[in-house]
């Protein structure tokens, strides 16, 4: 019998760890557990008010526990919820949204939160970033970081359950063809490999961490469906095409979008289509509306609305996204290049405002500008319930909450997308 306290899991943290309490009252977080489980653990980190534990044994499984379907379960950090039935994952994400809005945002009398499941529980990712480490001799480890041990790489193949079939096939082919010590890839002991599959089943590779050496041209020639290899010295540096086609296009939301490394598109194409439809439904009939699409990227929302009669302005900081957008002109849609907080005043007043910021939420000044000139309707698309709640609290006295919808773009992980619809106080818009 293994030593260690036996605890009951009461809930989930925002990281997807099970939450329980130690006999001394401290909160303890244990990954790979499910609410309702009775588990034996050992402590791995102990603080004054909280602790972390490692699962030793499931003494009695909770009603929502299942056998993880992935061969890498228990080692890989790519999924933290796969031991939980999918309906319970959705319930946990619904609770996370509710708790953030009430506890952080101080919002009361919330409408019922509607949850939208992903059309696919597995096999949904069209893009994945793998870490590659060259060991001694010709040894290579390539995959995702280990759970709670980010210095260790879990070597994985294309049978990872998160990957689209075409992405998994490309990853297996790349692993087979990169040669001993991954010599056909650019030099560098540690590389970051981002592989993206397009809707036609082809794809391209971005290698970060080295640009010299290798034989990328041979990889493009030999791997069916690999259409380009890009490289950058460090993560975030401008990439350079080293082999293959520079002009690639994706068909997304009815748009023909030029694609290059770094271009932002959601990783779950099926669920993202549903998210897109939800946002457009919340905007309502576009004809005659003045729309501000902030943090717009390529401008998929603003472009679609302009095609249906709206006058739309998109604000975007990334020059590459703007370059791609301006290459495909849509009458009635224009870009403002720069930070949203610097340029939002130029897009106001507006009948509709769409906010789709990064995980950190909006910068100071954005919500204040919207409070001063509130649109009849505001649709906020968030990938972090905590920063969403913080930002909504800044609108107090200017707008009221109409609807809250969760969209599961990331099954098997604790992440969730939220669409919140608000209207100006005194507005008769519905």
State the catalytic residues: 383
SS (H, E, C) 29-87: EECCCCCCCEEEEEEEEECCCEEEEEEEEEEECCCCECCCCCCCCCCECCCCCCCECHH
Beta bridge partners of 60: 38
Radius of gyration of the chain (CA): 23
- Comparing CA positions, the residue from 354, 277, 344 lying closest to residue 317 is 344
What tokens appear for 74 in the block? Answer: 């228990």
Q: Give the contacts of 346 (CB within 8 A, at least 6 positions apart).
A: 313, 336
- Comparing CA positions, the residue from 332, 309, 316 lying closest to residue 324 is 316
Residues 50 and 266: their CA atoms lie apart, in Å, by 35
Question: In this structure, are strands 290-294 and 352-355 parallel, antiparallel, or unpaired?
Answer: parallel
- DSSP letter string over 328-391? S--TTEEEEES-HHHHHHHH-S-SEEEE---TT-PPTTHHHHHHHS--SEEEEEES-HHHHHHH
CB atoms closer than 10 angstroms to residue 288: 9
Mapped onto helix, strand or coil, the DSSP state of residue 129 is: strand
Residues 236 and 209: their CA atoms lie apart, in Å, by 10
Residues 283 and 289: their CA atoms lie apart, in Å, by 9
Dihedral Cα 224, 227, 231, 237, nearest 10 deg: -140
Q: Give the contacts of 106 (CB within 8 A, at least 6 positions apart).
A: 393
Mapped onto helix, strand or coil, the DSSP state of residue 273 is: helix
SS (H, E, C) 73-93: CCCECCCCCCCECHHHHHHHH
- Comparing CA positions, the residue from 252, 336, 349 lying closest to residue 294 is 336
Residue 212: φ, ψ to 5°? -90, 155
Beta bridge partners of 423: 377, 400
């Amino acid at each position: 019998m293994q030593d260690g306290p036996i605890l009951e899991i009461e809930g989930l943290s925002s990281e997807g760890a099970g939450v329980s309490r130690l006999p001394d009252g401290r909160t303890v977080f244990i990954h790979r557990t499910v609410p309702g489980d009775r588990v034996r653990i050992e402590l791995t980190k102990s603080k004054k008010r909280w602790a972390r534990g490692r699962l030793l044994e499931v003494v009695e499984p909770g009603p929502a526990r299942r056998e993880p379907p992935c061969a890498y379960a228990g080692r890989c950090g790519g999924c933290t919820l796969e031991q939980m039935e999918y309906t319970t994952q959705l319930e946990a994400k619904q609770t996370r949204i509710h708790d953030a809005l009430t506890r952080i945002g101080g919002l009361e009398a919330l409408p019922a939160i509607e949850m939208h499941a992903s059309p696919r529980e597995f096999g949904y990712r069209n893009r994945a970033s793998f870490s590659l480490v060259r060991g001694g001799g010709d040894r290579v480890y390539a995959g995702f970081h280990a759970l709670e041990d980010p210095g260790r790489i879990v070597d994985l193949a294309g049978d990872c359950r998160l990957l689209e079939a075409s992405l998994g096939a490309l990853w297996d082919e790349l692993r087979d063809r990169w040669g001993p010590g991954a010599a056909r890839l650019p030099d560098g002991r540690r590389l970051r490999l981002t592989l993206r599959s397009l809707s036609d089943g082809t794809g391209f590779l971005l290698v970060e961490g080295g640009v010299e050496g290798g034989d990328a041209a041979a990889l493009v020639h030999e791997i069916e469906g690999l259409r380009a290899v890009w490289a950058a010295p460090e993560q975030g540096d401008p990439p350079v095409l080293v082999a293959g086609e520079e002009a690639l296009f994706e068909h997304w939301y009815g748009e023909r979008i030029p694609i290059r490394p770094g271009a932002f598109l959601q990783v779950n194409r099926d669920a993202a289509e549903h998210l897109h439809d939800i946002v457009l439904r919340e905007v309502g009939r576009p004809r005659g509306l003045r729309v501000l699409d902030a943090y717009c990227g390529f401008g998929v929302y603003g472009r679609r609305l302009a095609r249906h009669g709206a006058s739309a302005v998109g604000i975007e900081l990334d020059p590459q996204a703007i370059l791609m957008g301006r290459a495909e002109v849509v009458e009635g849609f224009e870009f403002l290049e720069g930070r949203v907080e610097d340029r939002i005043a130029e897009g106001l007043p507006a009948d509709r405002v769409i906010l789709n910021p990064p995980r950190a939420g909006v910068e100071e000044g954005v919500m204040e500008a919207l409070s001063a000139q509130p649109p009849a309707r505001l649709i906020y698309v968030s990938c972090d319930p905590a920063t969403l709640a913080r930002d909504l609290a800044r609108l107090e006295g200017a707008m009221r909450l109409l609807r809250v919808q969760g969209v599961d773009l990331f099954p098997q992980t604790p992440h969730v997308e939220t669409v919140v619809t608000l209207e100006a106080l005194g507005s008769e818009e519905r």
